[in-house]
Amino acid sequence: MSKQIPVHDVTPPASKGKDSVDLYASREKIYTRAFTGLFRRLRMVGGAGLFLLYFGTVWLNWGGHQAVWWNLPERKFYIFGATIWPQDFILLSGILIVAAFGLFFITVYAGRVWCGYTCPQSVWTWVFMWCEKVTEGDRNQRMKLDKAPMSANKFVRKLAKHSLWLLIGFVTGMTFVGYFAPIRELVYEFFTGQADGWAYFWVGFFTLATYGNAGWLREQVCIYMCPYARFQSVMFDKDTLIVSYDPRRGETRGPRKKDADYKAQGLGDCIDCTMCVQVCPTGIDIRDGLQVECIGCAACIDACDTIMDKMNYPKGLISYTTEHNLSGQKTNMLRPRLIGYALVLLVMIGALATAFAIRPLVGFDVAKDRVLYRENAQGRIENVYSLKVMNKDQRDHVYLLDATGVPDLQLTGQREIRVAAGDIVSLPVQLSVAPQSLPSTTNEITFTLKDADDSASQVEAKSRFIGPQIR
């Protein structure tokens, strides 16, 4: 038996006199109504957390520099106490993989809760809609204002709305660029005209991008531009929590007086007030069934529960539920797909944590000189090497250099190497061997770099010692 959720055809009927629907019809503006409720409060908490994380983290300092700073010119990426170098990009890939499996897990369990509560597109859109309400009024007032001819009142309200949008977009853009250029210097130089031209460009770009996405595109981003809207459906099953309308309880719809015996009239609990449609940020009617446009924000649940309270009906006509529950069957929360994603997620988190814990905080590279070998003044065979020592830690270190692998091997050059935090030191060293001590023309050797403060912490690099042909 197939476990796929049935698709509901909610395509509007063709206009009279036409045989097909115009797939390129212009967007109809969505006017959302103000509402209150439990899920709205949860969404505000999630949005506040995201805002605090995004706008607050950039101002934190750690170890004498910005706590989170993607220093592209020097190819150093600071994340609080960790310094990520290009050589450590595999760790960033691991973070993305963990985030992906986390998204898969939560989608299988509870649908698009990420979209409805903490996705930046959704959060910024809700903030922009709040700006509309503050400057232009609630839903009916905005609809009336848009239909009215231009006047001084309409101009001032529109100007105030777009000014707030641009201000929020500017702060968002400035903050984003601040993760790549230290925010304190950026803000000062930006307003004094001393910033680099690229800084002005990128702040302007992200200002307009935020203004356009959250102010104008809105639900179009979720429906057409975001790939998650498409591939999330393959992760749903009949036990996934989704925002759904209960047709068994709600049908047949129809208006009625509050104290009327609506059951005798053959009516269900739905009074067909369309409040669920009026509060939806993507403009869908949840009563038509599961739709790709639904972002799981639960605005319709809050609106419907408010109406149910006023009518003295039980809440939950629209709720977070499952297809199995709607059809009167038992919901299986612990199912193979969910358990599989959970196990993979835990394994990936463990592997990533281990990789971060054991990664060496010193990078060590050895390159042999192009000259194969030479004879020094003492008659010894000498090879020259270029060493590169990279201190990935956020404090200064002193390293002790040694080389082994060939009898009578002598190292000439700097044995004690001092490297500042986050710095790279390059230096030449010479190794020499008495000709009679060389086992062969090509010999494997090992350079060892030990931390002077922690002898147990060391890294090695392999190379070759070349000598003359033995007769």
Report the C-alpha gap between 144 and 339 in whole angstroms: 51
pLDDT of residue 352: 92
**For position 260, what pLDDT does the model report?**
85
Cα separation, 126 vs 429, whole angstroms: 62
Structure confidence at residue 359 (pLDDT): 83
Q: What's the pTM value of the predicted model, to 2 decimals?
A: 0.83
Of 400, 396, 408, 391, whose CA–CA distance to 445 is shortest?
408
pLDDT at 17: 45
Amino acid found at 311 = M
Task: Give the span between the Cα atoms of 23 and 14, in whole angstroms.
Answer: 11
Q: At what angle do helices 183-192 and 197-212 cross, to 10 degrees?
A: 100
CATH number of 362-466: 2.60.40.10, 2.40.160.10, 1.10.10.1200, 3.40.1180.10? 2.60.40.10
Q: Residue 333's pLDDT is what?
A: 86
pLDDT given for residue 269 in this prediction: 96
For every residue of the chain, which 3-state class applies, written as one string? CCCCCCCCCCCCCCCCCCCCCCCCCCCCCCCCCCCCCHHHHHHHHHHHHHHHHHHHHCCCEECCEECEEEECCCCEEEECCEEECHHHHHHHHHHHHHHHHHHHHHHHHHCCHHHHHCCHHHHHHHHHHHHHHHHHCCHHHHHHHHHCCCCHHHHHHHHHHHHHHHHHHHHHHHHHHHCCCCHHHHHHHHHHCCCCHHHHHHHHHHHHHHHHHHHHHCHHHHHHHCCHHHHHHHHCCCCCCEEEECHHHHCCCCCCCCCCCCCCCCCCCCCCCCHHHHCCCCCCCHHHCCCCCCCCCCHHHHHHHHHHHHCCCCCCCEEEECHHHHCCCCCCCCCHHHHHHHHHHHHHHHHHHHHHHHCCCEEEEEEECCCCCEECCCCCEEEEEEEEEEECCCCCEEEEEEEECCCCCEEECCCEEEECCCCEEEEEEEEEECHHHCCCCEEEEEEEEEECCEEEEEEEEEEEEECCCCC
- List, for residues 24-37, the tens digit of each pLDDT value: 567 789 999 999 99
Q: Helices 152-178 and 120-136 meet at what angle, rounded to 10?
A: 150
Angle among Cα 451, 453, 457 to the nearest 5 degrees reads 40
Distance from C-alpha of 108 to C-alpha of 89, rounded to nearest angstrom: 29
Query: What residue ranges do the domains of the chain occupy?
Result: 38-57+111-229, 237-326, 362-466
CA distance 209 to 159: 19
d(CA 305, CA 273): 12
pLDDT score recorded for residue 25 = 61
Parts of the chain with a pLDDT under 50: 1-4, 13-18, 21
- CA gap 228, 115 in Å, rounded: 9
